[in-house]
Structure 1
Amino acid sequence: MSTTDTIEPIRLTPTAAAAPAAPAWLGNTVRKLVTHVLPPVIILAVLLLIWEALGSRPGAALPPPSKVVADTWELIIDPFYDNGGNDVGMAWQLLASLKRVAYGYALAVVVGVGLGVLVGQSTWALRGLDPIFQVLRTVPPLAWLPISLAGFRDGNPSAIFVIFITAIWPIIINTSIGIRNIPEDYRNVAKVIRLNGLEYFGQIMLPAAAPFIFSGLRIGVGLSWLAIVAAEMLIGGVGIGFFIWDAWNSSRISDIILALLYVGLIGFVLDRLVAWIGHLVTRGTAAH
């Protein structure tokens, strides 16, 4: 090579810029969808296909999902219609049932927590009341309905009483267990700083027993929703339970299936709502 020859400079081809990394929240969202949403969606789709195949056979006892949707389409798209009397949409039926549940359940919470605290704090009350509670809680909810009808002479308060008497037992039992399991150190601290009864109740007792209390509240709200559907089948009037019974008497099987779907969804929402409140109150220490 001659000295006059020039050496061509090496030209470096710029590499393509690296693709920006996906945000961390996006990856977490995708993982949650895959692990929590996708499995039930797949299973639900498979079950619907099996149901469609079985329900489409000649002589099938239950209609397939496609026929259920076709038969109940008016109820689905217009849940708030009101033609007077008991001829109202599904939304009004559900709201009537939820109203009864709200009254009965709220009463059960107040009385149940109070009695649970009493039984948990007092050995005398535990020995005197616990056997009675254990006997009464085994009585089926609907067995209380004739007694309540005889006492109140009206269907609506009778249904509320059935809700109350159904929901109160798990609340009492779980609250009393939570009170009895308060660590002795907490009690000693309360004595050292000389808390009065009201301060001890609000600052020590309720926070310490809250996980147990909310476990009882979750069980209670589920039992309340189960009981109101059964009670409304007997007392009549507006309510999802009576709607199901009336649909059965009229051979509207698709209406029954739609109502059961709504009942399940509402029950799930009520359970998750109480669980969410319990999570906030107990800062995640309540059992889920």
Structure 2
Amino acid sequence: MRTTETVEPIRLPVPAVPGALRTWSTGVARGFMTHVLPPLLILGVLLVVWQALGSRPGAALPAPSKVVQDTWDLIAHPWYDRGGNDVGIAWQLLASLKRVAYGYALAVVVGVSLGVLVGQSTWALRGLDPLFQVLRTVPPLAWLPISLAGFRDGHPSAIFVIFITSIWPIIINTSIGIRNIPEDYRNVAKVIRLNGLEYFARIMLPAAAPFIFSGLRIGVGLSWLAIIAAEMLIGGVGIGFFIWDAWNSSRISDIILALVYVGLVGFTLDRFVAFLGRKVTRGTSAA
């Protein structure tokens, strides 16, 4: 009598997906659908509309495909240097960023200091706040003739325009943050007998940091706007002068490419300051 044996098929073990990896992939997919896909769709629609309008006979502006075709050398070789002002668009952006770095750093130091003074002292508030409110309404380019007359050089004049444009939101937001420090914090500082420097470092700055970084974020955006406008008039190497020179030479595609780079750099600067604000204030900053 034969016995029939059932042979079980060999099943290879399927590696289990770790829970952390599954959670990470789910988070990436959700982040893509929430934050990346919507702007990509909007951008795609705008490019299609722009391509359709720019491809018509007699269109005033070139289509995106024409812009890429005309500016391919600038896109492919951003770091070329033929001497003088004939340099790649990366050098133009770098020159502008250097000026912004100098002017904005000076505005941060002076703006935070004056903001603390105005926020702490009622007399300083009454004396300086009206002056600040008047000066901050002056357009950035209105300062350029005065700075050129004073410095007699385009480079420091551009830095001054950046400084005088970006300092006002830093002063105002810092002073608001200092004035809004809870009274309990001040009482604790008195109880533990903090000196002026300790009170500034351990109480004042942490409590006002969300307001300060809100002002810093506004200031960095104004700095980038100001340098583009100033460089159109002072000349030399810089993305602002590159745009103005392209206009004088009727290179519309170069202007459009430069505007794309200007927007991307401005967005990056804004995101960077916002990132610092979240790290320093542990997520409590409005930035």
TM-score normalised by length of structure 2: 0.94
| Structure 1 stretches of 4+ moved >6 Å | 8-19
* Residues 142-194 of structure 1, C-alpha deviations (whole Å, 9 max, x = no match): 00000000000000000000000000000000000000000000000000000
1:176-195 alignment to 2 at 5 Å? Answer: 176-195=175-194
| Partners of 2:44 and 2:12 in 1: CA distance | 43
Q: Which residue of 2 aligns with 1:35?
A: 34
| Partners of 1:160 and 1:36 in 2: CA distance | 35
Amino acid at match of 2:189: A
| Partners of 2:27 and 2:133 in 1: CA distance | 47
Larger Rg computed on CA atoms: 1
Amino acid at match of 2:184: D
| Partners of 1:46 and 1:105 in 2: CA distance | 36
| Partners of 1:156 and 1:180 in 2: CA distance | 37
Alignment pair present for 1:270 and 2:279: no
Q: Which residue of 2 aligns with 1:51?
A: 50
Shift of 1:14: 11
Amino acid at match of 1:150: A
Q: Which residue of 2 aligns with 1:4?
A: none
Shift of 1:116: 0.2
Identity %: 80
| Partners of 1:220 and 1:33 in 2: CA distance | 30
Structure 2 spans left out of the alignment, 5+ residues? none
| Partners of 2:31 and 2:275 in 1: CA distance | 19
Shift of 1:24: 1.3
| Partners of 1:91 and 1:9 in 2: CA distance | 75
Q: Which residue of 2 aligns with 1:249?
A: 248
Structure 1 spans left out of the alignment, 5+ residues? 1-7
* Residues 127-148 of structure 1, C-alpha deviations (whole Å, 9 max, x = no match): 0000000000000000000000
Shift of 1:23: 1.1
Q: Which residue of 2 aligns with 1:228?
A: 227
Q: How many corresponding residue pairs?
A: 282
| Partners of 1:241 and 1:18 in 2: CA distance | 59
| Partners of 1:232 and 1:15 in 2: CA distance | 70
| Partners of 1:10 and 1:70 in 2: CA distance | 70
| Partners of 1:91 and 1:66 in 2: CA distance | 21
Q: Which residue of 1 aligns with 2:74?
A: 75
SS in 2 for 1:228: helix
1:130-141 alignment to 2 at 5 Å? Answer: 130-141=129-140
SS in 2 for 1:23: helix
Amino acid at match of 2:149: A
Cα distance change on mapping 1:83 and 1:13 into 2, 3 Å: closer
Cα RMSD of the aligned pairs, angstroms, is 1.8
Amino acid at match of 1:180: R
Amino acid at match of 1:40: P
Shift of 1:12: 10
Shift of 1:245: 0.1
Q: Which residue of 2 aligns with 1:120?
A: 119
Alignment pair present for 1:64 and 2:63: yes
| Partners of 2:259 and 2:116 in 1: CA distance | 37
Q: Which residue of 2 aligns with 1:162?
A: 161
1:83-94 alignment to 2 at 5 Å? Answer: 83-94=82-93
Amino acid at match of 1:112: G
Amino acid at match of 1:266: V
Shift of 1:20: 4.8
| Partners of 1:81 and 1:19 in 2: CA distance | 51
Cα distance change on mapping 1:47 and 1:9 into 2, 3 Å: same
Shift of 1:9: 11
| Partners of 1:41 and 1:147 in 2: CA distance | 44
1:205-224 alignment to 2 at 5 Å? Answer: 205-224=204-223
SS in 2 for 1:62: coil
TM-score normalised by length of structure 1: 0.94
Q: Which residue of 1 aligns with 2:196?
A: 197
SS in 1 for 2:94: helix
Q: Which residue of 1 aligns with 2:103?
A: 104
Shift of 1:15: 11
